[in-house]
Amino acid sequence: MSSANRVDLLDPYEVAQLGGVEIVAEGVVEGFLAGLHRSPFRGFSVEFAEHRPYQAGDELRYVDWRMLARSDKVFLKQYEEETTLRSMIVLDSSASMNWTGAEKRLTKLDYAKRLVAALALVFLRQRDATGFIGFDEEVRSVVPARSRRQQWWTLLRAVQNLSPGRGTAAEDALRRVTGMLHRRGLVVFISDLLFDRDLAFLALQYLRHRGHQVVVFHVMDPAELILEGPPEARFEDLETGDLVSVRPRELRVAYNDTVRRAIDAWRGQCRRSRIAYHHVLTDTPFGYVLRRAAARRARLA
């Protein structure tokens, strides 16, 4: 697949016109994997464990060449078994996610659903057991982590059936994960993060303290970064229904500064807790998001 027609590098809205979530996800993953310079996206989830002496018949790709140069002895890098890693993808489907700032742009929820499907397909192709939790004001969907062949379709049905709710119960959803990952695993949290940061972050930190790798995808519409609008406008809170009339021009500087500080706060807290943080805009091609996540994970591994 050439870079000129790789689905994962096209505008997300254009990709969505090609078909359903499953078609988009398969096209994105095919293009993404074809675009990697080296085969494994393995570094995303497979952890280095220890060295062991080389034995006849072992694959040479696992030889630690640096150790060979230092000690003149051949050792292999051993990794934890791929099937031992369990991944849980947690998706926010609250009302604020069901919004877009432009007609020809996916809502944050539609974008996130396709991202979930693509991530799940990559994980399952690595034979990683993968599960899913969807939530709004309460947990709506739970799919236990499995690595069997039909798991992707089970996950896909759960994602497609998830409708936007009202409020946000991020803390409850994240705490549910702890009961489903009994061993060290990978938790992917996808949300616009429009909720109480302190409570949700405590839950993320708890997962990290339990030994889980945690990845946060902060999904935003480009229109949320800068306040625009007519001289006077009325804005509605999608989750509470509250209305407020404002003059966008008068609030623009304060609004833009508040958004920037909120993003910086999430990024800073995640960095200090060794949680991978990715700020994602809904006009960003899915392939770029996956590539950044893979590169960041490889650096932390």
CA 116/CA 226 separation, integer angstroms: 27
Q: Are residues 180 and 147 in the same domain?
A: yes
Closest CA to 29 of 122, 168, 126, 146: 122
Q: Is the Cα dihedral 276, 280, 286, 288 positive or negative?
A: negative
Residue 55 structural domain: 48-79
Position 43 scores a pLDDT of 41
Position 69 scores a pLDDT of 85
132 located within any domain: yes
205 located within any domain: yes
Please write down the long-range contacts of 2-11, taking CB distance under 8 Å and 24 or more positions apart.
3/35, 6/31, 6/34, 6/35, 6/287, 7/31, 8/32, 8/35, 8/285, 8/286, 8/287, 8/290, 9/35, 9/285, 9/287, 9/288, 10/285, 11/283, 11/285
Position with higher pLDDT, 56 vs 97: 97
Q: Tens digits of per-residue pLDDT, 199-247? A: 889 999 999 998 899 999 999 999 999 988 788 888 877 777 788 888 8
Position 1 scores a pLDDT of 52
Q: Are residues 121 and 209 in the same domain?
A: yes
pLDDT exceeds 70 at position 193: yes
Q: How many domains does the chain have?
A: 2
Q: Which band of pLDDT confidence, cut at 50, 70 and 90, is reported for residue 62?
A: confident
Distance from the Cα of residue 127 to its chain's centroid: 18
Q: Tens digits of per-residue pLDDT, 103-143? A: 999 999 999 999 999 999 999 988 889 999 999 999 999 99
Q: Are residues 16 and 67 in the same domain?
A: no
Q: Are residues 139 and 113 in the same domain?
A: yes
1 located within any domain: no
Closest CA to 235 of 101, 76, 46: 101
Q: Tens digits of per-residue pLDDT, 264-291? A: 999 999 999 999 999 999 999 999 999 9
Distances in whole angstroms, Cα of residue 223 to Cα of each of 126, 227, 263: 36, 7, 15
- DSSP H stretches of helix in 36-150: 65-71, 108-125
Contact 6/35 with Cβ under 8 angstroms? yes
**What is the mean predicted confidence (pLDDT) over 162-181?**
87
43 located within any domain: no
pLDDT exceeds 70 at position 44: no
Of 46-60, 146-160, 256-270, the poorest mean pLDDT is in 46-60
147 located within any domain: yes
Position with higher pLDDT, 123 vs 82: 123
Gyration radius of the chain over CA positions: 21
b/e sequence 30-62, b meaning 16+ C-beta within 10 Å: ebbbebeeeeebebbbbeeeeeeebeeeeeeee
Q: Are residues 149 and 64 in the same domain?
A: no
